[in-house]
Every structure is written in structure tokens, then in C-alpha cells.
Amino acid sequence: MVLIGPSDRLVLWDLRSAFAEPLELPGHRPRTFALAFAPGRRLLASGGSDGAVRLWDLARAGALPGELQGHRSRVTSLAFTPDGWILASAGADSAVRVWNLRTPGAPPRVMRRHRGAVWAVAFAPDGHTLASGADDSTLVLWNTRRPAETARVLRDSAGWLFALAYDPRGRWLASGGADGGVRVRRLERPEQVEHALRTEGRPRRVLSLAASPTVGAWRPATIPPARCGCGGWTNPVPVVCVQARAELPCSHGTVGLGCWWWRARTSAFSSGKLSLSAAGLPCC
């Protein structure tokens, strides 16, 4: 698991050993906005205010990161394909960039359909269908093999879209945004919202969504507070990236660290709520 701590350092814990010393990496200045693990690889991508994307090889302790340049403003979201070799980056410059990590140094494919800052990107399990969401109330579905001809622009009533997630079979797409709701679309007819889900309490922004690869229960790992080195943290952790299985879709709110989950059963969704701080995430 990796999260952003004070001074924007990246702090990594091995959840298999809660008592192991965390690994710290320098973040982006003045702020890190996006993190993503490459599936099946010891690779972490980070992006932030400086417009750069850094690639951290976690198998080589102390190695300098690779760096991808291209965004003209802050990098807001990152997503890998299931094979871990294609990376999509979203930016406040209204662009989505797709990088092929098998060809280092090659320029990215730049895709533009949004008129505002792009805050979320997510790859479907097929590895070439990409969703992006922006603060202009648009959700765009791309085929990264032919983006110019296949982009589908959809309107979303959430306003600013901050979070996107596909289910593991690639049949559903969930989106969350500034109105505190989560909308679930069937990809056969994405123009239609099949389910509109609400978080409890007063409206809040939905900042993060993820889908479970299994139907088992979520068992959060506990990191002892004395070991987490987070003394003095008084605000919610802005970005948490967990490379683990969870019972989701799950959304992180801006007030506290509440996590809501919805379990799909055919056309019905059951819901619940978890308190992330009570579950032992390293925040004080």
C-alpha cells in the first residue's frame, strides 16, 4: 500500500508484514495527485503538480525513477492496462495521454475530447477500452487502438467527475463525482444509467472507486499506529493506493475517510459503510 504523507513524500507499506519498516520516496512538488501500481510488476507510477509522470521500480531499492514528460499542467489520474505495460495519464490540460512502456522514449498517444481538466481514467479488463472523466461533466469512452474514430462522449449529471472503475469482467462502469453519487452503466448501452447509488449523510465528493476481483469479504490490513510514522497528521489522506483485493465498488469521501461499498447481485445492489480510520489505515 502507498499513501501520500507530509511534505508529499510517498510512504509504502508491505501489507504482508505490518511490522516491516515503510519505504519512503520523494513525491511531486508541491503536490502529488495520482498513484497507480502496474499489475503483475514491481512498478509504481506517480503524477503531480509538476506535470511529470514518474515510474518507480520497486524491485531496485534506491534507483532513480524513470520520467515521462508531456502534460502541460498537473497530472491528476493514472491507470495501467491489466498486463501492466500501457499507462494512461490524465491532466488538467484537458488531455489524456497513453504511454507504451515497452518502447521507452516513444511519444505518447494524445487524446482530446474534454473541454475541462480530466480527473479520472480507467482501463477496462480488455486492455484497450479506456474511460476518462472531466470537470466539464463529460465521460468519454475510448478505444485506444483507434481513438479518433471511436471516442464516445457522454454527459454525466455529477458535474465534476473524479472517479471511474470497471468491474472485473468489463460489463459495468461506475463513475463518481462532485454530487456524492455513484452511477453504474452497462457497457452495452453506456448512455443509460442502470443504477444511481448514494453515499450516506450529506452530499460529498466521491474521489475514488475500485471494483473487487472476488466476492470475498474485505479484511483491511492493520498497521500499528506506532509504526506508521504519521504523527501530527490532522487532515484526511488525499491519495491512498492499495495493491490488494477488496469488497467494492468503494468510494472515498472528502469528509473523514469513509468508505461505502455496494455488492451487485444481478440487478440489485446491497450497500454498507466502512470507517477507514477505524479499520487501521495509517492516518492519525
* CA atoms of 270 and 263, how far apart (whole Å): 5
| Type and span of the H or E element at 150 | helix 147-150
- Report if pTM > 0.85: no
Q: What is the pLDDT of residue 4?
A: 57
For position 36, what pLDDT does the model report? 93
**56-65 LR contacts (CB < 8 Å, sep 24+):** 56/25, 58/12, 58/23, 61/23, 65/25
**Model pLDDT, residue 11:** 81
183 C-beta neighbours (distance < 10 Å), count: 21
Helices and strands (DSSP H and E) totals, the chain: 1, 23
DSSP three-state, residue 84: coil
**DSSP element (H, E) containing 148:** helix 147-150
Q: Report the distance separating Cα 133 and Cα 38, nearest Å.
A: 21
pLDDT tens, position by position, for the chain (284 residues)? 666 555 568 888 776 776 677 888 888 888 888 999 999 898 999 999 999 999 999 888 778 899 999 999 999 999 999 999 999 999 999 999 999 999 988 999 999 999 999 999 999 999 999 999 999 999 999 999 887 777 899 988 777 898 999 988 888 898 988 888 888 899 889 998 888 877 665 557 787 887 766 533 333 343 333 333 333 333 333 333 333 333 333 344 333 445 665 665 544 555 555 444 333 333 32
> Residue 147: in which H helix or E strand, if any?
helix 147-150
pLDDT at 6: 52
Count of CB atoms situated within 10 Å of the CB of 28: 22
CA dist 211 and 217 (Å) reads 13
Per-residue pLDDT at 182: 85
CA 73 to chain centre: 18
Helix, strand, coil abundance in the chain, percent, nearest 5: 5, 45, 55
CA distance 114 to 192: 20
